[in-house]
Amino acid sequence: MKKLFILLFSFLTLSVSAEAPVEGGEFKPGDMITHHIADDYNWHFADGATLYLPVILLDKGELNVFSSHNFYDENHETVSYNGYALEHGHIYRVGADGEPLEDQSGLFDFSITKNVASMFISVALLLIVFFVIAARYKSNKGKAPSGIQSFFEPIIIFIRDEIAKANIGPKYERYMPYLLTIFFFIWFNNLLGLMPGGANLTGNIAVTLVLATLTLVITLFSANKNYWAHIFATPGVPVWLAPIMIPVELIGIITKPFSLMVRLFANITAGHIIILSLFSLIFIFRSIAVGPLSVAFATFMNFLELFVALLQAYIFTLLSAMYIGGAVEEHNHDHEHAEGAHH
């Protein structure tokens, strides 16, 4: 019942806020969907419930801090403020006539956007949850886990045994903090994105880029001589093919984290778009026959997204462990296979 209430409240929030991008009585689903999945300088929960976030600009060494509310008039139309204007998610300098200035150099934006605020919330939740779990482990030594500890312990053990140990091997312990961090960071943010008014943090390609880059950096800095030997002198490959194989292997190093970045971004964003598109059918057709059917499919998709939220966290963590495992592997399996075939 609790989950059902949350889902219904989420649908109500989406339905109410979906009426915002209507001009002249015409509902524009594209504007509504973009509004929900894109980052912004304010956090819109529903009509009349908007949190205006702080704008932090470093303009040629001068710090300017003010509320993003100054960029909107009483009709929620964007206006210029203090020599700056906001358009399409970007802040730029404007002249007295409101037109953009040609010189935009030296302007750096450090504003707290919706995605940044959501990330702060998720990090705070992670710290609270795992500090509580750590305290429980200290106070319940030798006792059966209870409460929140009993919920998260099987997940942590699964990541340790089925992901870290299975794919990295004996050196798994040094990578456990990273694997646990990315798993729970992605999972928590996927779930927060499904909450009423939630931000689409893991559907932001800049966020998935940073996560994938972290995996790449850890993989490269952990790589041993066998890993690099496999790239620059692939076993069983004739020397004359080296000019072809080496670039291919080097490209492979980049494409692995690239696939991590795109997979997480695309799956999470697609889920949000599908749910919002199903809701849009209610306002497009305005039919009592379409309404219940649209809500039924959207409800199914929302439950499916709860599973996808966990699945994508698992896949990202699993592939990261596999890439790290390949870099720290002590034995050259290609050589072993060649020896086995020879015998």
pLDDT in tens, 223-278: 888 888 888 877 777 878 778 888 888 898 999 999 999 999 999 999 989 988 88
Q: What are phi and psi of 41, to 5 degrees?
A: -90, 0
Q: What is the pLDDT of residue 216?
A: 95
Q: Which DSSP state fits 196?
A: T
For the chain, how big is the Rg over CA atoms in Å? Answer: 25
- 26-27 and 107-109: which strand pairing? unpaired
Residue that has been written with the tokens 């709860």 in this structure: 306
Residues 6 or more apart whose CB falls under 8 angstroms from that of 133 comprise 148, 149, 152, 153
Tell me the whole-structure pTM to 2 decimals: 0.84
| Whether residue 48 has pLDDT greater than 80 | no
More confident residue, 286 or 216: 216
| Whether residue 108 has pLDDT greater than 60 | yes
Q: What are phi and psi of 73, to 5 degrees?
A: -90, -175
Q: What is the pLDDT of residue 159?
A: 96
Q: How confident is the model at residue 331 (pLDDT cuts 50, 70, 90)?
A: low
Q: Are 218 and 324 in contact (CB under 8 A)?
A: yes
Helix%, strand%, coil% for the chain, nearest 5: 65, 10, 25
Q: What is the pLDDT of residue 342?
A: 43
Residues 6 or more apart whose CB falls under 8 angstroms from that of 156 comprise 180
Amino acid at 201: L
Q: Are 59 and 47 in contact (CB under 8 A)?
A: no
Q: Are 218 and 322 in contact (CB under 8 A)?
A: no
Tens digit of each residue's pLDDT (9 = 90 or more) over 116-129: 999 999 999 999 99
Q: How confident is the model at residue 172 (pLDDT cuts 50, 70, 90)?
A: very high
Q: What is the pLDDT of residue 234?
A: 74
For all residues of the chain together, what is the average pLDDT? 84
Instruction: Tell me the mean pLDDT in the region 26-51.
Output: 82
Q: What is the pLDDT of residue 255?
A: 93
